[in-house]
């Protein structure tokens, strides 16, 4: 007997309950039945019929390549609910064509605020999410570092020790070490492993132990930004004292000072290969610095070159995963894209009507996210340079955000004294 994909199978849906199916095609089985259910105009259908379409999408994956094509086509369905289901079903596929389709699709239209919580009278200036996407770490003008369960916002533990506002946080690639800096001019390095297995904690329990490994001093003014050179375990810090300092992350040993900016260093970023350090400043300039191949080698104190084009402070930087493109966000309300190896200005993204405070680039290098004093988070496609979506809801300027390694959720903080988590509902 031949294997006909259009014939009903055990997992197919048959319309009509106990009533014998008519011969005019009301049997919604097989690939043909899946096609019929998906062909309905879902924008005008009842919730029951939309539910039938969603079931049909899931069944389509039982029919190989032809069924997979139906799921891809559903990304253009009139119903956002159908589109969202199709997008979710395709997430587990690694075939190049599916990856390309998803890169060209805009999932951010489904993002909404999943929850928010008050930080009382404190403003959060820095947020980081652990590499496993399970926890978020935040710090602000309450001088406390708070570790939360990312899924529900429950506080797992806190770190105390700073005597001034916390302006910047950075996690090591393995998620075990946390670095913080701020107004008190110190860098503090913490063992995040003291949090332990948060999943085993009771709802009211907190982890004890201060977790502080060591404190670094050397800057004479506030520390605005930190980064870690992953292949060498070097810590980089930028300060209001116009300088960048490098430290051995394992020992806390001071390594070098980079000077060249004429005003405060507001942002730093490291290329994925660990070869270049990029810094942005209140002197409106961006400088690129060559880093050594090995931690023991001397660090060149002079920048390779300087990028100019912004007309106000350069507050944030981000680099694409391939190390080719640098994005810079400024108090002049623009985002500029630069060819990193030549310093050529490629394009300028205009849309924010307030200063750009924070940026991040997706792991696939296709999308850039930015937040601003204008109370919005904006998402851009780096290939087309078009804005994909804008998230609004905060009632004050957005100070910073962080994105989970898999692209969602996104966590943002604002001068409205709230932290919000954005993503797609299940």
What does the block give as tokens for 383?
């290939």
Burial category of 76 from C-beta neighbours within 10 Å (exposed 0-12, middle 13-18, buried 19 and up): exposed
Contact between residue 262 and residue 282 where contact means Cβ atoms under 8 Å apart: no
Give residue 232's pLDDT.
Answer: 79
Residues 223 and 144 in one domain: yes
In this structure, the answer to whether residues 133 and 187 fall within a common structural domain is yes
Do 165 and 252 sit in the same domain of this protein? yes
Cβ burial, residue 401 (10 Å; 0-12/13-18/19+): buried
Query: Any idea what the CATH number is for the domain that residue 218 is in?
Result: 2.130.10.10
DSSP string, 120-165: TTPPEEEEEE-TTSSEEEEEETT-EEEEEETTT--EEEEEE--SS-
Q: Are residues 160 and 179 in the same domain?
A: yes
Which distant-in-sequence residues (6+ apart) come within 8 Å of 173 by Cβ? 131, 228, 230
Phi, psi dihedrals of residue 414, rounded to the nearest 5°: -145, 165
pLDDT value, residue 28: 53
Cα dihedral sign, 364-365-367-368: positive
* Residues pairing with 414 in the sheet: 398
Domain with 7, as residue range(s), is 1-104
Do 68 and 152 sit in the same domain of this protein? no
One domain for residues 151 and 228: yes
Return the SS3 of 363.
coil
**What is the rounded distance in angstroms from the CA atom of residue 213 to the CA atom of residue 215?**
7
pLDDT at 44: 55
* Residue 301 buriedness (CB in 10 A; 0-12 / 13-18 / 19+): exposed
Tally of domains within the chain: 2
Domain identity same for 351 and 249? yes
Angle between helices 47-60 and 80-90 (to 10 degrees): 20
Contacts with 3 (C-beta within 8 Å, 6 or more apart), sequence order: none
Q: Which of 104, 126, 148 is the last residue of a domain?
A: 104
pLDDT at 341: 92
Single residue among 71, 104, 137 that ends a domain in this structure: 104
Structure tokens, 198: 């948060």
Model pLDDT, residue 426: 63
Q: Do 166 and 231 lie in a common domain?
A: yes
35, 123: one domain: no
Tell me what pLDDT residue 176 has. 93
Domain boundary among 79, 104, 129: 104
- What pLDDT, on the 0 to 100 scale, is given for residue 21? 38
Angle, vertex CA 221, rays to CA 217 and CA 222, nearest 5: 90
pLDDT at 4: 46
146 and 22 assigned to the same domain: no
pTM of the model: 0.81
DSSP class of residue 74 equals G
Same domain, 241 and 295: yes
pLDDT averaged per 10 residues in sequence order, the chain, 426 residues: 44 40 47 84 65 88 90 87 88 86 81 90 96 95 96 92 98 95 98 62 42 96 95 92 96 95 98 95 97 77 94 98 97 98 96 97 92 96 92 96 89 96 82
- Spatial separation of the C-alpha atoms in residues 372 and 374, rounded to whole Å: 5
**Are 155 and 97 in a shared domain?**
no
């Amino acid at each position: 007997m031949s294997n006909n994909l259009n014939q009903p199978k055990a997992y197919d849906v048959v319309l009509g309950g106990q009533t014998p199916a008519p011969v005019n095609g009301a049997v919604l089985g097989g690939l043909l039945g899946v096609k019929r259910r998906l062909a309905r105009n879902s924008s005008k259908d009842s919730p029951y019929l939309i539910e039938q379409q969603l079931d049909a999408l899931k069944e389509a994956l039982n029919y190989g390549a032809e069924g997979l094509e139906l799921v891809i086509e559903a990304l253009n369905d009139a119903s956002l609910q159908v589109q969202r289901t199709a997008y979710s079903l395709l997430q587990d596929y690694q075939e190049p064509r599916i990856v390309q389709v998803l890169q060209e699709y805009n999932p951010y239209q489904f993002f909404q605020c999943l929850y928010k919580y008050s930080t009382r009278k404190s403003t959060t200036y820095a947020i980081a999410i652990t590499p496993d996407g399970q926890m978020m770490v935040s710090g602000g003008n309450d001088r406390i570092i708070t570790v939360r369960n990312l899924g529900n916002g429950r506080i797992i533990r806190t770190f105390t020790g700073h005597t001034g506002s916390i302006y910047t946080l950075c996690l090591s690639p393995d998620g075990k070490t946390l670095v913080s800096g701020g107004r008190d001019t110190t860098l503090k390095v913490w063992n995040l492993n003291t949090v332990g297995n948060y999943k085993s904690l009771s709802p009211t329990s907190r982890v004890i132990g201060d977790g502080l490994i060591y404190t670094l001093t050397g800057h004479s003014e506030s520390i605005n930004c930190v980064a870690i050179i992953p292949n060498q375990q070097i810590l980089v810090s930028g300060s209001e004292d116009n300088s960048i300092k490098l430290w051995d992350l394992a020992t806390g040993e001071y390594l070098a000072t980079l000077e060249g900016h004429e005003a405060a260093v507001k942002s730093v970023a490291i290329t994925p290969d660990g070869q270049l350090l990029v810094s942005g400043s209140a002197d409106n300039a961006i400088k690129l610095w060559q880093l050594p191949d090995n931690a023991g080698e001397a660090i060149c104190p002079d920048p390779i070159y300087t990028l100019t084009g912004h007309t106000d402070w350069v507050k944030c930087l981000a680099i694409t995963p391939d190390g080719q493109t640098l994005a810079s966000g400024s108090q002049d309300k623009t985002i500029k894209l630069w060819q990193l190896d030549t310093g050529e200005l490629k394009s300028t993204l205009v849309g924010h009507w307030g200063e750009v405070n924070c940026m991040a680039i997706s792991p696939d290098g296709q999308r850039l996210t930015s937040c601003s004093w204008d109370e919005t988070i904006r998402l851009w496609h780096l290939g087309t340079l078009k804005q994909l979506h804008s998230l609004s809801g905060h009632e004050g300027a957005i100070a910073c955000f962080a994105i989970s390694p898999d692209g969602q959720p996104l966590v943002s903080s604002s001068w409205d004294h709230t932290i919000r988590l954005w993503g797609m509902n299940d």
